[in-house]
Amino acid sequence: VEEEWREGAQDGGLVTAVLCELLEAGKIDGALIATESEDDPWKAEGFMATSPEEVIENTGTIYNQTMALGHLDFKQWEDKFEKDWEDISLALVGTPCEIEGIAALQDFEWEYGAQETGVRAIEYRIALMCTKNFNYEKLLGELVEEQRGIPIESIGKLDVLHGDLMVWDTDGEMVLQEEIEQFHDAALKGCDECADF
């Protein structure tokens, strides 16, 4: 973990460090990670990082799903790789449900159509510790912006820690700290069934 980028990481930068090491050592050609949407602040999108610099630019956590397994169709990433798709090795960073999903897909020799090469390319699976994931519009649009008066574009950092949802503004000042249970209505319903933690 490097000091120059650690502060932007969520909880110390371990995942970023592991991905950078894998890329630098040539163990992987890319890592499917989350990035922030260019159009909607704090909305997660899938992103294929192919360099340590791209991984570092996308440190931190965004508390809504990227639907990572839906991004394993290499056609959307063809500008990222010079190798044949069958020769590409990837890491996938995801919530426990996403990691369980890719593990289940890889356990069976079924045909996955356009996703087949991507499913088979995942050689490293990195599961994030996750207590809940949220619907973007409900959490940030309704509960944070509308009900608590915090504009989404003013948010500098979000964290769920010690049972609280915490929000800091772009100046680094904490503007919200409430029990995570106050935001339960925005949580994805499948999270209630997750036994990972």
Contact 157, 132 (CB under 8 A): no
pLDDT at res. 110: 79
Residue 102 to residue 1: CA distance in whole angstroms? 27
pLDDT at res. 54: 96
Owner of token pair 């356990």: 107
pLDDT at res. 109: 81
Report the 10 Å Cβ neighbour count for 68: 23
Residue 59 to residue 2: CA distance in whole angstroms? 12
H or E segment and range at residue 48? strand 44-49
H or E segment and range at residue 90? strand 90-94
Consecutive 10-residue runs of the chain (197 residues): their mean pLDDT?
67 87 97 91 92 91 82 85 91 92 88 82 91 89 95 91 91 95 91 83
82 burial class (0-12, 13-18, 19+ CB within 10 angstroms)? exposed
